[in-house]
Structure 1
């Protein structure tokens, strides 16, 4: 059974550090309109043996990640290299806040981090010099150019899921607009978007390049074109979802329990990470992806890896980056499904009902990460007003 060390949210930033924190006003922060990212560093002609030796001299490594899977990665890393690695589960906003504070104080403890919030990474942490991209040169040919800056470690997914015992004939929801209907009021269970950057980014990405698919799905369900007073089909769907009394939780584990528990009696739809399909085996849950749902059964999102610019264990941090960019390292993060940023690593998808990663999911466009950060407050306020 996995044990996770959760980080308690730290106190409010001091005035100097607060200037670096994510904007909470309606206007975009300067970082959200940043230009080109700092170029990634790449050690030409990487000597892996020399890097391992240098990392061993540093003695230890601390990596933060939003997933408890980092503890399994840490065990594998330590077993392979004999370097004490600690993996800490911490929500991305808290990780970013801690790294900003440590950088400003010249007291860095976090050596590297995994980021699901690409907007904060490319809009704040990297331009401000808090975090940087390092690419293992011996793997460069295996990493497509679009995955290099920031460095994409893997892609994961959040999907609509149902209880297969209660609905043996398949998912009772066939179209994303179904979830806006009165019959599904109070029956969608999901993490609160206001505390989940990946869901907020999903909303902003939907508005950026998902409107046509949503309009077509509406036409398919209702036999007529969507008419809305909102700015787009995405915002209309978000409004209707938020007003249909979704049950909001603080974790995907709670979503999974509400939907798939063996003693569940009420049909609910969960919007949750595919990592929670492990509960089918671990806890006897009966969960499956809403396969065939129009126009998508969920969304994929990127998880990036970056090194703290002032890391006290820079070689160990680099070695970790190289490790997570190989199958040996990333397999612990992929778990029930995911795609490595290294094209030589075979994708792994074991989540029931998710048979076509590319075709069933709405995919995050990495070119829109800054837009995600810029528009986050707008979509947050829109959700808050409509959810009430």
Structure 2
């Protein structure tokens, strides 16, 4: 359901309350003796098994004996991946679409109850992963030994399965001359008041992480982008240019939704007549073919056309199907598995697979056109999360 300012206060508050309850529940039931639910504890070390002695056929045989695997993911693509995995190996596989906060809470409760049902989590909430789930040993990292040579050190702990994107998009049918905005700061102008669509950041943790990541590493570029507007140098009383941009965006009455589908339909459905700008997952560009939507990335947007973030492959520490879980992770890291998760683009954590040729119209070079998350900033993202959520909440009123 779409919620817009000012009539969406109650709905937005509901999203915020649910997110807060999920976080509180995660901390309350996590198997941690003290402290902030594992925050600040070092990550468990990860060693790669010897590739020469690794026997994929033996792993397949052991996985078949276990008989099944249950995989949770924030994307519905996991259902197709599970279907193809089952077809390939004859092992019953179920893929469930679930938001990261809900998955983390469920896995934490299962770990405490010692009744683990989720075997694999394809998890996009990096800050929660490195600050809570991994230190508390709710999940663990396993690196396929025969693929390890093509997985960079920075992508190993936790294991990056794929880097996906969120992009600003427009309707080329309504704006045939190209994206009607050229600079991210234009989205904060009165002209675009109530005309920017996105998921509610209070219910979409990856957006809050984008804000904190930019604040950590991208403030200078965003400030320089403001200078290109011809309005002089940015003047702000906020911490940095990113906080100023977030504040202005929040105050410009963006139309907040609960799902990317609402954004896609609101911008690009055949019956749309109003020009708007949206921020949504590259995965939704499948709607061009499936639903005849008119959608294109705001190419060349200054300083970025969106952001690229990693999704991690983890295995539940108490999995009852550990070999099937390993085999599924192995499958996800191959070209075959990657293609099922990257139907509308992405970059594999396996260098031998690389970038998907299927990329949204208007986006070509992901690493240069999109803001790229920094893995070393994940703990800082976790510490800054609540403050950034509060900052958004205060300004979106």
TM range (shorter): over 0.9
State the partner residue of 2:275: 267
CA distance in structure 1 between the aligned counterparts of 2:332 and 2:372, rounded to whole angstroms: 22
Q: How far did 1:46 drift?
A: 1.3
Q: Does 1:50 align with 2:61?
A: no
Question: Is 1:40–2:49 an aligned residue pair?
Answer: no
- 2:36 aligned to 25, 29, 36, which one? 29
Assess, with a 3 A threshold, how the Cα gap between structure 1 residues 152 and 265 changes in structure 2: closer, same or farther: same
**Quick check: 1:206 aligned with 2:226?**
no
Give, in angstroms, the shift of residue 371 of structure 1: 1.0
Matches within 5 A, 1:300-379: 300-348=308-356, 349-379=358-388
TM-score, scaled to structure 1: 0.93
2:229 to 188, 203, 221: 221
SS of the counterpart of 2:280? strand
Tell me how far apart the structure 2 counterparts of residues 11 and 30 of structure 1 sit (CA, whole Å): 14
State the secondary structure of the residue aligned to 1:190: strand
CA distance in 1, matches of 2:166, 2:205: 12
Distance in 1 of aligned mates of 2:77 and 2:22: 28
Q: What residue number does 2:13 align with?
A: none
Residues 1:169 and 2:183 aligned together: no
- Cα deviation for residue 142 of structure 1 reads 1.1
Distance 2:380 2:19 in 1: 27
CA separation in 2, counterparts of 1:333 and 1:381?
33
In 1, distance between residues paired with 2:218 and 2:24? Answer: 38
3-state SS, counterpart of residue 376 of structure 2: helix
How far the C-alpha of 1:197 sits from its partner, in A, is 1.0
Cα offsets for 1:101-120 (capped at 9, x unmatched) = 00000000000100110111
What does 1:279-294 align with in structure 2 at a 5 Å threshold? 279-294=287-302
Match of 1:233 in 2: 241
CA separation of 1:271 and 1:17: change in aligned 2, threshold 3 A: closer
> Please, which of 281, 291, 296 is the counterpart of residue 304 of structure 2?
296
Shift of 1:32: 3.1
Q: How many residue pairs get matched?
A: 373
Measured in 1, the distance between the counterparts of 2:76 and 2:144 equals: 25
**TM superposition shift of 1:346:** 3.2
Give the match's secondary structure for 1:63: strand
Give the drift of 1:127. Answer: 0.1
* CA gap 1:256/1:131 in 2 versus in 1, 3 angstroms: same
> Quick check: 1:60 aligned with 2:96?
no
Deviation at 1:17, TM superposition (A): 5.8
Q: CA deviation at 1:224?
A: 1.1
Matched residue, 2:12: none
State the secondary structure of the residue aligned to 2:371. strand
SS of the residue 2:264 aligns to: helix
- C-alpha separation in 2, matches of 1:56 and 1:219: 60
- 8 Å CA contact 1:17–1:104 kept in 2: the answer is no
**1:349-384 deviations in Å (ceiling 9; x for gaps):** 420100121211111001111111110000000000
> 1 CA distance for matches of 2:236 and 2:359?
38
How far does the alpha carbon of each residue in 1:321-370 deviate from its partner, in whole angstroms, 9 at most, with x for none?
11101001111001111000000003114201001212111110011111
Distance 1:11 1:86, change over 3 A: farther
Specify the alignment match of 2:4 in structure 1: none
CA contact (8 A) 2:186 2:192 kept: yes
Partner residue in 1 for 2:11: none
Question: Which residue in 1 is equivalent to 2:124?
Answer: 116
CA–CA distance in structure 2, aligned partners of residues 243 and 200 of structure 1: 16
Asked if the contact 1:296/1:362 (under 8 Å) is kept, the reply is yes
Answer yes or no: is the 8 Å Cα contact 1:298–1:362 preserved in 2. Answer: yes
Query: Deviation of residue 34 (structure 1)?
Result: 2.6
- The offset of 1:13, in angstroms, is 7.4
- Deviations along 1:79-121, whole A, 9 cap, x unmatched? 1100000000000000000000000000000001001101111
Report SS of the residue matched to 2:179.
coil
1:18-71 per-residue CA deviation (whole Å, 9 max, x = no partner) reads 4356xxxxxx93633233x10125333211111000000000000000000000
RMSD: 1.8
Q: Is the 8 A contact 1:288 1:351 kept in 2?
A: yes
Distance change (3 Å), C-alpha of 1:15 and 1:71:
closer
Partner residue, 1:133? 141
Structure 2 stretches of 5 or more lacking a match? 1-17
- Contact 1:111/1:313 (CA < 8 Å) preserved in 2? yes
The whole-number CA distance in structure 2 between the counterparts of 1:271 and 1:202 is 12
Which TM-score applies when normalising by structure 2? 0.91
Instruction: Give the whole-Å Cα distance in 2 for the aligned partners of 1:311 and 1:141.
Output: 26
